[in-house]
Structure 1
């Protein structure tokens, strides 16, 4: 069974006004280290956010429990400082983000300027792979399906105090980073590492850790890292995304071992698939990964479940994944929940405070 881990970036907000607060250093100092001596929470680029990473898990119930525990701990530490946490991929209220104090982040701020000063929160999923060769073979094969994960996780409709018109505006902001987005197939681990080395050699990136491919080999772990999802409003949605990513990795690895060809979809079309997922989420047509032609979102989500069904079933995740996907298709994504809160209250502050509560449900 492949292990899977999740990294979530949470927004730090004022519990009354809903405005982002620069409290990451204080929250981390209060959190300290866990009982096992590990640092559970980490600083990110901006002072208005905090990140945690789960342990590698085989069982999705264990993963869900750890995500809930980490969210609860983050809320407790923040609450002791008069702050709150929200699983929001962008701030509904206007914000002027501040850059965390570190040499790396200051370099990024100087190099990328306004691109580094836009506050967004993502969810990254790590799945273990046996080797770099397997990881690259998987990355080449999962490319057409990643936009569906973006649609399922969409949770950033508001930007700087107004409705952006997108379900996942975070993903549009993220595409401004020069190394972000889909890639052409690499074909081998050697070709992948040469590409990364060439990118770093341009001087536009500080190191390989700034290669932000949608699917990349992790610099820290023996994993393939998928980086397309918004941080999810509900913990259970994050678990669904993690289960689907593991299913995609296992399915692609089997295809590689069987000698099946890599899908030949171009980056140009994959970018359009990503854009459509960001624009409409689950409320309109997506581009079907098999044809890259428009199809209803429900049909595309079910096509993904069918594609990875054998792997999900082997892991014991199929029934739960289908149930959660059906719930999202009926009840709506995080973006739809945010818009519903705004329609009901007419207040972006109420959107934030409502999402603070939902983050820990």
Structure 2
């Protein structure tokens, strides 16, 4: 059974006003070596689970770390919230480190405005060759993952019209987005070296592909999703990613070629996923034509059905996907709260409650 680990980025906010607070340094100073991590902006905090093979264990880890982040943030008068962008206007405060200062100087406004929170899913692979075989074959299915995780409809106090506006902001980084077919681990490494040789990137950590080989672990790291508002949506995302990795690895071993879609087509599918989320049409993988979001998400589940069944996750994935399609993602909930209250502050407070509601 492949193991799965999850990294979630959270925004730290004032519990009364809902405004982001630049206090991650203070949180980490209180509990050094605690397992929480600093991010690009001081208004952010990252939590990470241990690798797990059982989804029930992973679910418990996600909820435990959300609760732990809340407990520690409370000591400095803040609340962590699983939002992929801040609904309220914010001027982020860059974390003071040599790395992040270099990024601020090199990328200017792109770095200064980059207060976005994603969810990264790590799935174990047996080798870099298998990992690249997986990367080549999961490319068509990354856009639906973005759609089901959409949790960033607001930006600087305005409704953007997008389900995942984080994806638009994140796409400003020159190394972010979909990738070509590599064909081998050596060609993957050659591409990474060529990108670094341009001098435009500081190091390999800035290879921001939607899915990549992890630098530190024997895993494929899928990075396309918004951080999910509901912890159980993160678990569904992890189930689907693991099943997609297993399915792709089987196809690679069998010599089945990857879909030849070019980067331009993948970008259009990703744009549509970020724009529409679960509330309108998406682009159907492999056919590359419009289809209702429910049709596309169920196609994803069908594509990975055998792997889900072998892992014992099929019934749970089917049930949770049906629930998610019925109630909508975090973006829909945020808009519903705003429509009811007319206050973005109320949106943040509601989402702060939901972040740790199941802990």
- What is the TM-score normalised by the length of structure 1? 0.98
Q: CA deviation at 1:32?
A: 2.9
Name the count of aligned residue pairs. 356
Cα distance in 2 for residues equivalent to 1:201 and 1:53: 31
Gaps of at least 5 residues in structure 2 are none
Cα distance in 2 for residues equivalent to 1:343 and 1:31: 39
> Is 1:79 equivalent to 2:74 in the alignment?
yes
Cα distance in 2 for residues equivalent to 1:124 and 1:91: 19
Look up the match of 2:49: 54
Look up the match of 1:131: 127
Cα distance in 2 for residues equivalent to 1:74 and 1:208: 28
- Find the partner of 2:165 among 153, 162, 169: 169
Look up the match of 1:332: 328
* 1:313-335 deviation per Cα after TM superposition (whole angstroms, max 9, x unaligned): 11111111111111111001100
Q: CA deviation at 1:31?
A: 3.0
Q: How does 1:146-165 map to 2 (within 5 A)?
A: 146-165=142-161
Look up the match of 1:240: 236
Q: How does 1:229-268 map to 2 (within 5 A)?
A: 229-268=225-264
Q: How does 1:30-49 map to 2 (within 5 A)?
A: 30-33=30-33, 39-49=34-44
Cα distance in 1 for residues equivalent to 2:108 and 2:198: 18
Cα distance in 2 for residues equivalent to 1:30 and 1:323: 40
Cα distance in 1 for residues equivalent to 2:245 and 2:96: 36
Q: Secondary structure at the match of 2:201?
A: coil
Q: CA deviation at 1:79?
A: 1.0
Look up the match of 1:210: 206
Q: How does 1:16-27 map to 2 (within 5 A)?
A: 16-27=16-27
Cα distance in 2 for residues equivalent to 1:287 and 1:31: 45
> Is 1:321 equivalent to 2:317 in the alignment?
yes
- What is the TM-score normalised by the length of structure 2? 0.98
Q: How does 1:179-218 map to 2 (within 5 A)?
A: 179-218=175-214
Q: CA deviation at 1:30?
A: 2.1
> Is 1:3 equivalent to 2:34 in the alignment?
no
Cα distance in 1 for residues equivalent to 2:216 and 2:107: 24
Cα distance in 1 for residues equivalent to 2:97 and 2:216: 19
Q: Secondary structure at the match of 1:260?
A: coil
Look up the match of 2:93: 98
> Is 1:274 equivalent to 2:270 in the alignment?
yes
* 1:256-282 deviation per Cα after TM superposition (whole angstroms, max 9, x unaligned): 111111110111010000000000100
* 1:104-133 deviation per Cα after TM superposition (whole angstroms, max 9, x unaligned): 011111111111122100000000110110
Look up the match of 2:29: 29
Q: CA deviation at 1:28?
A: 1.1
Q: CA deviation at 1:20?
A: 0.2
Cα distance in 2 for residues equivalent to 1:312 and 1:277: 23
Cα distance in 2 for residues equivalent to 1:31 and 1:128: 29
